[in-house]
Amino acid sequence: MSTNDPVGNFNYPTPYRIGRGRIRELPDACRALGIKRPLLVTDPGIVALPWFAEIQRNLTRPADLAAKIFSKVQPNPTGDDVRAGVMAYKMHLADGVVMVGGGSALDVGKCIALMVGNEGTVFDYEDVGDNWTRIDASKIPAKIAIPTTAGTGSEVGRASVIVDSEHRKKIIFHPRMLPELVIADPALTIGLPAKLTAATGMDALAHCFEAFCAPGYHPMADGIALEGMRLIKDNLLTVFEDGKDVVARTHMMMAATMGATAFQKGLGLVHALSHPLGGATNVHHGTANAIFLPYVMMFNREAIETKMDTLARVLEIPVASTGFDAVLGWMIELRRRLELPHTLEGVDGFSESMAEYLAPLAVADPSMGGNPIPADERDCERVFIKALEGDLSP
């Protein structure tokens, strides 16, 4: 570890260790949490990486630790993934969950922990009304999150996004889904392909941006969101162009965590549109967010113009006319340089006819409650069409 590497320990919103090489602390972290038979939840791509074998050895070689791998996790995870993981947990007689991967593996791992001691299906605990109060929190085992991307921030989240049998994304929530420990080692993100680096980075940006724009009084979330966006502006293109830059990778991991921490204030129309689109087409969530951001900015313009003056100043974006126009231009140029699609024409499986079907799902999405301007089904359908046609008119 270089003396210039960012490294730190803190406890907001949960115990968090960040820095190159900190994955070596995992066995002792398991012992400290009383985990001796962890279920190691990841995805097929991670299992094939050389460094994962070392993690597995470190959780099986000591006489007091015995890990079992569960890697049947899809990019947009389903209820079947969670059920299979619960079965694997019980067959292993596991006593805790260690999650290694991007948002999909982390979301499934948290839901496995939720369901090993609770009745019904994971969808019984969708984030609707007081569903979460029916969970016996004492039966949720300890969890350690090890992110390998810099996007969702699921490592510090109290919720997971799971696809149901009708291809709808559902948000599952309970406060105890928050992992007891995060180990964020940027070295684990070095092999992330540039395309995924771009998409996950834009996911983190969308979290920070929508949290900052959400109405309501939450200066802490606003401050975290602003600093998260500054880190993304300064580092996302760097890691896209040079994936081995560990310092920039560290800053991006921190920005992703900050986005998920900030969005307790709220999200908005970007996520409300992205969730049903992802369920229907399997498009990467970060790519969907990247597409929708400018179109949603235009929809919300009247309510967020003043905030864009602040954001342009914090990001040091030159302002020729208004802060809004400056931020919008920067957002579009960033997306172009990251080689992400400008319209929904770049999404396999999407057609204009789907807009009418997806619009009510967007209105019903829990993220919609944080949008600065209320949007009905007709509004959502219109934004879908604008995003398909590349229409950035008001």
Nearest to 153 by CA among 216, 211, 106: 106
Beta strand residue intervals within the chain, DSSP E = 8-10, 16-18, 38-41, 68-70, 96-101, 142-147, 159-163, 169-173, 181-184
Cα separation, 172 vs 88, whole angstroms = 20
Using CB atoms within 10 Å of the CB of residue 317, give its burial: 0 to 12 exposed, 13 to 18 middle, 19+ buried. middle
Residues 90, 94, 99, CA angle at the centre, nearest 5°? 105
Cα separation, 303 vs 212, whole angstroms = 12
Cα separation, 390 vs 294, whole angstroms = 10
Strands 142-147 and 16-18 come out as unpaired
Cα separation, 212 vs 224, whole angstroms = 9
Domains and CATH numbers, the chain: 8-188 (3.40.50.1970), 191-389 (1.20.1090.10)
Q: What is the pTM of this model?
A: 0.94
Cα separation, 206 vs 218, whole angstroms = 18
Q: Are 192 and 102 in contact (CB under 8 A)?
A: no
Cα separation, 207 vs 152, whole angstroms = 8
How far CA 257 is from CA of 109, 153, 250, 312, in Å, comes to 17, 5, 11, 22
- Kindly give the confidence (pLDDT) of every residue in the chain, 394 residues in length, as a single tens digit, with 9 standing for 90 and above: 556 788 988 678 999 999 999 999 999 999 999 999 999 999 999 999 989 999 999 998 888 999 999 999 999 999 999 999 999 999 999 999 999 999 999 999 999 999 999 999 999 999 999 999 999 999 999 999 999 999 999 999 999 999 999 988 999 999 999 999 999 999 999 989 999 999 999 999 999 999 999 999 999 999 999 999 999 999 999 999 999 999 999 999 999 999 999 999 999 999 999 999 999 999 999 999 999 999 999 999 999 999 999 999 999 999 988 999 999 999 999 999 999 999 999 899 999 999 999 999 999 999 999 999 999 999 999 999 999 999 999 8
